[in-house]
Structure 1
Amino acid sequence: MTFERDNYCFACGKENTNGLQMNIEAEGGHSHTRIKFPNYMQGYNGVVHGGLIATVLDELAVYAGISLGYNFATGEITVRFKRPVKIGDEYIVEGEVIEDRGKVVTVKSFLKDYEDVVYARADAKLIRIND
């Protein structure tokens, strides 16, 4: 199976009006963006749904991998939720390649505030695709 990118990705697709439409910058094994979650993305009142936090961490992990010059898909991801992420607050999300073993890349990603307090983090193993 060949995976093709288009503009309908839930996390970064500019054509997906129901998605997050994140603007992600990535280079040299690092990725970063800023995000503010709207009301309709809440779980408990005023708190972002954990699945959306996991989605954002996954996306930044993959972008960190893609910045190495290859396409990747997530093979495994573990998310740790440290504190509630609040609806309407702006956060920084970053991804960083920790180990590049060719076909498998290990990445860490973080969602944090402007004081560098981590709210959630993920450890991911990415699998290189479309070789």
Structure 2
Amino acid sequence: MTRFEVTYAEQACFVCGQKNQDGFRVSFILDGDDGIYFNVKIPEMYQGYDGIVHGGMISTMLDEVMANCFFRRGIDCVTIEINVRFLKALPVEKDVKVVGKIEKQNSRFGFSTGWIEDNTGTRYAEGNGKFYLIAEDSDEVIIRKSFLENNESNNKNQEYK
């Protein structure tokens, strides 16, 4: 089992950021050439209906794993769209595995799938996503890094154009 540690600037990420004290701080595990997964137990505070994980939290977990399929290849990306199908109510406090696989990619876009399952293989949700891939030598990377640096040092009222 090889772990994939997140090393980019967004250490405050709600799901994977190791510096986010209120987040999940998950560690990714490599799964073949095109996939990753992480194990998680979603606490009661993220329920929608009584005892059931909120659908927004399920969508967040799927978005995270699908995007990080590209990060593991060293490619920055941002989510363009995700589609989620809720198959079965996911109880809070249940140990689950969140899995992501790359389906295809070209120079600008990546497509991946993801699902949430328990240790018996029962699937609770599945999804697919389209991601804008940011080239390493692109001005977008410089803009993104600059935004992150400025955002940390400036007050909340500053406008970004």
Same fold by TM-score, threshold 0.5 exceeded? yes
Which of 17, 21, 36 is residue 17 of structure 1 equivalent to? 21
Query: Aligned equivalents of 1:29 and 1:79: distance in 2?
Result: 20
Where does residue 12 of structure 2 map in the other structure?
8
Which of 27, 39, 44 is residue 44 of structure 2 equivalent to? 39
Query: Aligned equivalents of 1:29 and 1:67: distance in 2?
Result: 9
Aligned pair count reads 128
CA deviations on 1:44-100 (whole Å, 9 max, x unpaired) are 111001101100000000111112221111111001100011111100110000011
- In the alignment, does 2:115 pair up with 1:101? no
Which of 67, 71, 76 is residue 71 of structure 1 equivalent to? 76
Instruction: Read off the aligned partner of 1:15 and give its amino acid letter.
Output: K
> Structure 1: which 5+ runs fail to align?
none
Query: Aligned equivalents of 2:89 and 2:106: distance in 1?
Result: 34
Instruction: Read off the aligned partner of 2:21 and give its amino acid letter.
Output: T
SS at match of 1:115: coil
Q: TM-score, normalised by structure 2?
A: 0.75
- Over 3 Å counting, the alpha-carbon distance change for 1:83 and 1:47 in structure 2 is same
Which structure has the larger Rg over C-alpha atoms?
2
Higher fraction of helix? 2
Instruction: Read off the aligned partner of 1:7 and give its amino acid letter.
Output: Q
Alpha-carbon offset, residue 130 of structure 1:
5.0
Query: After alignment, is 19-28 or 7-16 more displaced?
Result: 19-28
Q: Which has the higher contact order (CA 8 A, sep 6+)?
A: 1
Instruction: Read off the aligned partner of 1:85 and give its amino acid letter.
Output: L
Using the aligned pairs only, state the percent identity.
Answer: 27
Query: Aligned equivalents of 1:37 and 1:127: distance in 2?
Result: 28
Where does residue 54 of structure 1 map in the other structure?
59
Higher fraction of strand? 1
